Amino acid sequence: MSSRVHSLVSPILTRPPSAVPRAKDPPPPGPEHLPLPEASAEAIDFLSSLRQEELQMLFFSETLAMISDTGEPQGELTIEVERGKYKDEFGVMSSCPFVHAFSRGFLDKMLCGNSLLGYLSWNLEAREQHSHEFIKQALGFQTIQVGRQQAEVFIVEQTVHSEEGIPMSCQYYLLPDGHLAKRIQVGSPGCCIITKMPIMREEDEIEPRPVFEKKPLVWEEDMELYSRFLDRKEELRLSHTSYLRQHPEAHALISDFLLFLLLRQPEDVVTFAAEYFGPFAARRPATRALRSSNRPSPFRSLDPEWDAGSGED
């Protein structure tokens, strides 16, 4: 392994957004290429001891927030390490760790950021690396001719700085709904422009949630509830019929009750029925039946003491 180990993340990504040079700022004085940092012998021995199986555990994807010293958000940094494919100078494809780091933030209300792409060997040596910076700034509104119509557009300029070439700036002319109407590369003799006005997309209107008034429920008029009522009614009728068929003594009990009801003719039939059937309840203590009727019974009692008491009254 070489005694020099290239950094995985370019120094561009470690600079805050305020350090990104603007499109028209002159380049800062100084050497074009800074010397690469030297790796210690211990670091080289440690990296040499790592096996390919252990390096596969380093594949990850993470997004971190960029904040200032005062805690104000300035942007975000995304780092992805995954298995990639690298083509060497002989055209041979091989698998290798692939690193993609991307940061973006706002500087004076302008979007700026930088990106780094790196192909590493399994010994963590940099095989190929590409990095660039970009900055976007608003240039204001302008009216342009689109076909036979005039349209107002919003202009955004994006400047990309690369270590491998000169900066490149492009201007994008955007319609109010986001359509790209025109693109100009600064310094190029031509441009790209739409030939006819597109159909503008209107902003979706959020309709208020409907309010449903609470209506009184008349179950007799509701087909579903009335159908369920009829089904339940038929179910109870069949259940009662089955019970009477399995308990023939119930017919005699009901016949006796109807006979007493016709003889006594009480004013409160419900109370009379409750007192009549009360002694037959399994969880209720036995009580004298027919207390609601003051008329003497026309039937002779089988209890002599009860007959004597009735005669005294």
Percent of the chain with pLDDT over 90: 16
For 7-47, how does the pLDDT look when each residue is reduced to its tens digit (9 = 90+)? 444 444 444 444 444 444 444 555 556 777 787 888 888 87
**pLDDT of 16:** 45
Asked if 6 and 125 count as a contact pair (C-beta separation under 8 A), the reply is: yes
- When pLDDT is cut at 50, 70 and 90, the band that residue 288 belongs to is low
**pLDDT of 306:** 46
The residues with which 138 forms a beta bridge, in sequence order, are 156
In which element (H, E) is residue 48 found?
Answer: helix 41-49
More confident residue, 1 or 11: 11
The burial of 259, by beta-carbon neighbours within 10 Å (0-12 exposed, 13-18 middle, 19 or more buried), is given as exposed
Q: How far apart are CA 9 and CA 14, in angstroms?
A: 8
Least confident range from 50-64, 91-105, 237-251: namely: 50-64
Q: How far apart are CA 100 and CA 119, in angstroms?
A: 9
Q: How far apart are CA 180 and CA 30, in angstroms?
A: 40
Q: How far apart are CA 118 and CA 128, in angstroms?
A: 6
